[in-house]
Homo-oligomer: A and B are copies of this chain.
Amino acid sequence: MIKNATAICKHITHGVYIISVDNGKQKNAFTAAWVMQVSFDPLLICFSINPQNHSYKLLQEGGICCISVLDNEQYPAAEHFGKSDIKDKMADFLWLETTKAPALADSLAYFDCQVDHYSDAGDHKLVVCRVVDAAILNDGDPMLYNDTDDMDNSDELY
């Protein structure tokens, strides 16, 4: 066990994202910080998800997701989608239709994705996604996960 692992890991820079999923019958969305670009051509983005997360099942069933980038004033959205016990979690937010799962309308940008493959990652799963469409939606600066200490106890985060 590495001493002080949480404090050391705060030095790894992550943004904050809302990832929506859709299995054709049910949609859900959750907050994620472990997201990065992994390929230029094809354009691929990878994220790490807790397989206990309810959205993981919908992701596996639907094979699609949309990654919306939060700006640094959207902490309430980050906190909201970091919880799993909210009924109609996606209500009260405006969503844009994409070719796959919906994008958060007031996010900075979105990446409309098709799952390419999964890989193991300890207590999480890596999801490698092919970006089929993407757009900038609003001006602003991306939220940094390192600035959001009090989200650590969210139960549908990562």
- Give the interface of A toward B (CB within 8 A): 2, 4-5, 7-9, 11-15, 34-46, 48, 69, 108-109, 111, 117, 119-124, 126, 128, 131, 133-136, 142, 144-146
Contacts and interface: CB of A to CB of B under 8 A. Distances in A.
Nearest to A145: B13
Given A39-B121, A134-B5, A46 B126 contact: yes
Number of chain copies forming the complex: 2
Given A34-B38, A40-B124, 15 more contacts: A2-B133, A8-B109, A8-B134, A11-B109, A12-B37, A12-B45, A13-B145, A34-B37, A39-B123, A41-B123, A43-B122, A46-B126, A117-B120, A119-B126, A119-B128
Contacts of A2: 43, 131, 133-134
Q: Which of A4, A13, A43, A131 has the most CB of B within 10 A?
A: A13
Contacts of A144: 13
